[in-house]
Amino acid sequence: MSNNHNSYQGGILAPASSNALFITLNRDPLKCQPVKSLLKQVSQLPNYLFELQKAYPEAELYLTLALSSDFWDFLEILPKPKQLQGFKAIHNQQVSMPATDADMILHIRSQRHDINYLLALRLFEQLTPAMQLDEMVHGFKYLDSRDLTGFVDGTENPEGKEREQVAIVANDAPFNGGSYLHLQKYQHQLNDWQALSLKQQEDSYGRTKAENIEYPAAQKSQCAHTKRTSIKDLQGKGIEILRHSLPFGDLNQSGLLFASYGASPESFNLMLESMCQLDENSATDSILRVTSAVSGHAFFAPNLDWFKQFQNS
């Protein structure tokens, strides 16, 4: 969110942060609360952000709050974003991309994990009369913005004014300024990955590891990650998303929190379909041999005017 109350939530377009919390929440069936009261609680959440932004400006703190299709229906908010649907699961003989939709996400990010955590505590306290925690995962910048596989992540992210064109809705009033958010949690099998040779790893991505130089198109395999995620629409224009992905990990498990923002959910859906599509050898995107999606969420992050309409209700 930003301090401009007539625009998109600032965390959507702001430059990458070194730390983030991805917090998914569900309504608590044992804590029934009037919808009007719950909406008012949700609408007050930006106030907590602004307080901490003022107190800790060096942290560059952002919050993006987004709701699922089912939760939007539960809250009986009309109208509803035209393309808001549940996560589109994909299952075939090689891969499984499950749908695990939660009701709400709080995407908190800054340069300080402690400030992220402080905001999370305040927001959760506000929501606990009606909501329960689904999952909270800490994502962090690893080395020079690399995934735990050792490859630079987010190389193809749009820059400058193109970020807004890619990520922000502009033709669906009253939802202009909003964004479609998808979140997947991938768990890496790093032992399997490290067993591959350097060339096998680089061929899997279609780029060099140390220098982060993309292969020429003619040298990429049909299953290289950069090949599978470089797709075009019917007009021949490249399909793009704005990524805010970060690694996560402890001594038991590790992987990537893949966060995608888009002006339409179709860009993400088409990219994921391309990764999972089986070729003539029943092969998918090469990196899916060593990582597995364990969750899949779809949300819509409304503009700041959306929050204001419920604050005095």
Catalytic residues: 153
List of residues 6+ apart from 217 with CB closer than 8 A: 227
Note the Cα 255 to chain centre separation in Å. 14
Ordered DSSP codes for 237-281: PBP--EE--EEEE-SS-EEEEEEEEESSTHHHHHHHHHHH---TT
Spell out the SS3 assignment of 123-177. HHHHHCCCEEEEEEEEEECCCCCECCCCCECCCCCCCCHHHHHHHCCCCCCCCCC
C-alpha triplet 160, 181, 76: angle, nearest 5°: 130
Tokens for 247, please give them.
């690694």
Tokens for 25, please give them.
């929440």
C-alpha triplet 87, 20, 295: angle, nearest 5°: 25
Which residue, among 53, 65, 57, 62, has the nearest Cα to 126 in the 3D structure? 65
* Residues recorded for the chain: 313
Q: Where are the alpha helices (DSSP H) in the chain?
A: 35-43, 45-55, 69-74, 113-127, 161-167, 190-194, 198-205, 225-228, 266-276, 304-311
Which residue, among 69, 90, 84, has the nearest Cα to 270 in the 3D structure? 90
Tokens for 108, please give them.
């908190």
